[in-house]
Amino acid sequence: MPNILLILTDQQHLDTISAAGNPDIKTPALDRLKQRGTLFTQSYCPNPVCGPSRASIFSGRTASETGVITNGKSIRSDIPNLGEWMSEHADHESIYAGKWHVPASYTHFIPGFTVLQTGIGGQGNLGDTAVSRACEAYLHNRTSDDAPFFLVASFLSPHDICEWLRINTYNPDQLRYPELADQLPPLPDNFKYDTREPEYTAGNRKRRDPHHGNWDETQWRYYIWSYYRHVEMVDAEIGRVLHAVHASGQMDDTVVLFTSDHGEGLGHHQNVRKNNLYEEALAVPLMVAHPGYLPEDVTDTTHLTTGLDIYPTICDFANITPPDHLRGRSLKPLLEGQANRWHNHVVCESNRNRGRMVRTPRYKYIAYAEDPVDQLFDMENDPGETKNLSADPEYAPIVQEHRDRLKSWESQLEVAPDLPYADAWWR
């Protein structure tokens, strides 16, 4: 029975692993993990906000089902979280360190888990070291007689970029460190965007720091440079935990899963932070490794995956039946090359139940309740989402197909009571 290690970061953009091709960042720990397992590049968080996404990851249900449609809410009491389910049904000891955020950001009291260590809200630069050291100590101090572990190492960085944005809101006269001028990453290709957007998306951008701070190109690029340093910080903490698994002789007996709760704007569509339905906020890295048992050094660019897949995957590796009504699939058969069928679409929810995204292999459809502007992007020919096709009559059948898929998906959900926008067209 393998041990299971789930590593979570917060607000990590998909394109932040150096071994996956980003030349402006160095992530040796994530690089080594990629070499030992599979990296999924078509992986989507369930919701582009911390609490709702984490509630979905740890329940296997959508935000509209858990009731956690915004930060500060608890998962519905009749839905068991992953720790509770594992504690009741698996042989594993369920251990947690770091950020929880359902509802408390950090707490010693997480149902189903023994908590090693909390952290510090808004300060991953300080609290993440306590998380990694606590995990390191736990792994080093185990004995061979101990039950297998299900350990969650939940880091806050690179979410600290939110503090950076508030501290560096206003455009300075010059670059604070002039020697960085030739080291700053370029602006993303989709910095300029199609302005035919839902009202919420446009309004969200205007409320953000670059708009208030009158940013120029240099400040944008300095922000991207700074974000990459935050990712490097958490990569080092991840490295400590992975080294502890390896050094304590448990790597060959441990399945490692890595993902993030949502992404980060990083200048795409001139966005910062999250809480929108573009790729920068939704697409996250997802890696699974079980050296000696699963294929290594694989990059899967084909299969659509979602954070909702984490719960059934962990149950599968723990050899237990998952609870009913999970909305994701176990990745284990896919990783073993034995999946006969897979997701033909994934859905993300957002903005206090107001927004929906449907992603199929070729297209991506975005809609907000009570907003006349929807979006359709051809992800094969326009992966940067720069041309909204939804108003083009040629694409009307494709828009309708995605709306039908969304309605079909929604019809199976057991939504929590008293949700806003509960009567949106897709319900």
The one among 129, 218, 299, 360 contacting other proteins by CB under 8 A: 129
The footprint of other proteins on residues 60-89 (CB under 8 A) is: 74
How far is Cα 94 from Cα 283, in angstroms, rounded to an integer?
A: 28
Residue 368 pairs with which residues in a beta bridge?
355
How far is Cα 18 from Cα 29, in angstroms, rounded to an integer?
A: 10
By residue count, the chain amounts to 427
Q: How far is the CB of 280 from other proteins (least distance, A)?
A: 21
Helix (H) or strand (E) segment spanning residue 130: helix 124-141
The footprint of other proteins on residues 366-385 (CB under 8 A) is: none
Side chain identity, residue 183: Q
Q: Are strands 149-154 and 3-9 parallel, antiparallel or unpaired?
A: parallel
Q: Are strands 355-359 and 363-368 parallel, antiparallel or unpaired?
A: antiparallel
What is residue 243's three-state secondary structure? helix
Q: Which stretch binds other proteins (CB under 8 A): 61-69, 172-180, 315-323, 377-385?
A: 172-180
175 binds other proteins (CB under 8 A): no
181 binds other proteins (CB under 8 A): no
Nearer to other proteins, 197 or 235 (CB): 235
355 touches 349 (CB < 8 A): yes
209 binds other proteins (CB under 8 A): yes
The one among 120, 373, 379, 413 contacting other proteins by CB under 8 A: 120
233 binds other proteins (CB under 8 A): yes
The one among 236, 298, 413, 415 contacting other proteins by CB under 8 A: 236
Q: How far is the CB of 59 from other proteins (least distance, A)?
A: 16
The footprint of other proteins on residues 237-296 (CB under 8 A) is: 237, 239-240, 243, 247-248
170 binds other proteins (CB under 8 A): yes
Q: How far is the CB of 235 from other proteins (least distance, A)?
A: 7
- Alpha-carbon radius of gyration of the chain: 21
How far is Cα 354 from Cα 161, in angstroms, rounded to an integer?
A: 26
43 touches 306 (CB < 8 A): yes
112 binds other proteins (CB under 8 A): no
179 binds other proteins (CB under 8 A): yes
134 binds other proteins (CB under 8 A): yes
Q: Which stretch binds other proteins (CB under 8 A): 51-59, 223-231, 257-265, 418-426?
A: 223-231
113 binds other proteins (CB under 8 A): no
Q: Are strands 43-44 and 305-306 parallel, antiparallel or unpaired?
A: parallel
x/- track of binding to other proteins for residues 8-27 (CB under 8 A) = ------------------x-
How far is Cα 133 from Cα 256, in angstroms, rounded to an integer?
A: 18
229 binds other proteins (CB under 8 A): yes
262 touches 284 (CB < 8 A): yes
Sheet holding 93-98, edge to edge: 114-117, 93-98, 149-154, 3-9, 254-260, 286-289, 37-40, 298-300
143 binds other proteins (CB under 8 A): no
Question: What are the structure tokens assigned to 138, written together?
Answer: 């736990």
Nearer to other proteins, 19 or 298 (CB): 19
What is residue 244's three-state secondary structure? helix
Nearer to other proteins, 178 or 292 (CB): 178
Site residue total, other proteins (CB under 8 A):
61
Question: What are the structure tokens assigned to 300, written together?
Answer: 């899967």
Residues within the interface to other proteins (CB under 8 A): 26, 74, 103-109, 111, 116-123, 125-127, 129-130, 133-134, 136-138, 140-141, 160, 162-170, 172, 176-177, 179-180, 209, 212-213, 226, 229-230, 232-233, 235-237, 239-240, 243, 247-248
